[in-house]
Amino acid sequence: MPDNLSATLIKLLSPLMLLIASEVISAPVMQTAELDGQPRSWRLFVPDGIREGAEYPLVFNFHGTGSSPKQIAELNELETLAEQHKFIVVAPKAEFSYEAGGRQTWNVEQLDSPYNDVAFIKGLIAHLAQHYPIDTARIYATGFSGGARMSSRLACDLSDTFAAIAPIAGVRFADNCAPARAMPVLTYHGTQDPVNHYQHQADSPRYWYMGVEPAIEDWVKFNGCESTTTTAIRAGITKTEWSDCRDDVAVIFYRSEQAGHTWPGSPKADILAKYGLGSTDDLPMSEIIWAFLKQYQRQ
């Protein structure tokens, strides 16, 4: 084909190729359905290139109190990672609040309310599995702040469904926590957190009745871990890993001396700091989380 003809064809076809490419680029969508007798909504991201007959991991991405599915997606950029590594992300929307007109959050304490969030998530998994190629042995949960507490709740109540969790800035071990099996846990917390205090204080929020270390110690004890290794990975940041646990799980804790209430490596960290939530670290936390979660699948 003559070079001038090739150039002409490329020039003519370029707008069409650009249109086709734009149509296949994956984008998140907000969905709504009646689950557990109530209309509930969530943000769903399915990566491009899903192959027929294949099944893909599902990661729950829980937003914090007063936040939204869109904001948690922007905070941790998990969807960008999902596009690269081919997993599905769902960011549910909270509806519960402690008082009328209050900020929406997750009913982690399972208080008397129309909103039973554990039942909601259980129903949502069943709903999504009917419509999308989900590998039900590889369902995970992460979240920030109130979303971290919700991730912890699900590890207690739905351990036969979730393969691993990664709560950030809000790990919990509920008083009535009774998982059916050992649970892999990765978490991060700053000692300068002004919201979910590293150590419980008199002015801690009503739901924050346990500091960070006691919660982690309970997960370590429940998982029957026998070995501990602590490593300094940055100035002021240590990584402690508990291993030799039941069912080959691990508990990993990133402790920051300088960080506040934040998601490490987030492009929105400056906004959190602007609202007085403190500084952050340059750890690529979303990548660290995915590297941890993907090791595990429910047997």
**Tens of pLDDT along 241-282?**
999 999 999 999 999 999 999 999 999 999 999 999 999 999
| C-alpha span between 209 and 109 (Å, rounded) | 11
Kindly give, in sequence order, each residue whose CB lies less than 8 Å from that of residue 50, ignoring residues fewer than 6 positions away: 56, 86, 133
Lookup result for tokens 């949960």: 141
Separation in Å, CA 6 to CA 15, 18, 20, 21: 15, 18, 20, 21
pLDDT over 90 at 11, yes or no? no
178 vs 52 pLDDT, higher one: 178
pLDDT over 90 at 299, yes or no? no
Task: Report the pLDDT value the prediction gives residue 16, as an integer from 0 to 100.
Answer: 36
pLDDT over 70 at 232, yes or no? yes
Indicate the pLDDT class of residue 184, thresholds 50, 70 and 90: very high
Pick from 13-17, 209-213, 268-272: least confident: 13-17
Kindly give, in sequence order, each residue whose CB lies less than 8 Å from that of residue 65, ignoring residues fewer than 6 positions away: 94, 103, 104, 105, 106, 145, 146
Pick from 44-53, 80-89, 119-128: least confident: 44-53
Q: How many alpha carbons fall within 13 Å on the CB side of residue 165?
A: 32
Q: What are phi and psi of 287, to 5 degrees?
A: -65, -40
The span from the first CA to the last CA of the chain, in angstroms, equals: 57
Q: Based on the number of CB atoms within 10 Å of its own CB, is 41 exposed (0-12), middle (13-18) or buried (19 or more)?
A: middle
Indicate the pLDDT class of residue 37, thresholds 50, 70 and 90: confident
Task: Report the pLDDT value the prediction gives residue 209, as an integer from 0 to 100.
Answer: 86
Indicate the pLDDT class of residue 9, thresholds 50, 70 and 90: very low
Which of the 8 DSSP states describes residue 35?
E
| Mean pLDDT along residues 171-182 | 95
pLDDT over 60 at 51, yes or no? yes
Indicate the pLDDT class of residue 7, thresholds 50, 70 and 90: very low
pLDDT over 50 at 23, yes or no? no
Q: How many alpha carbons fall within 13 Å on the CB side of residue 91?
A: 25
| Mean pLDDT along residues 80-106 | 96
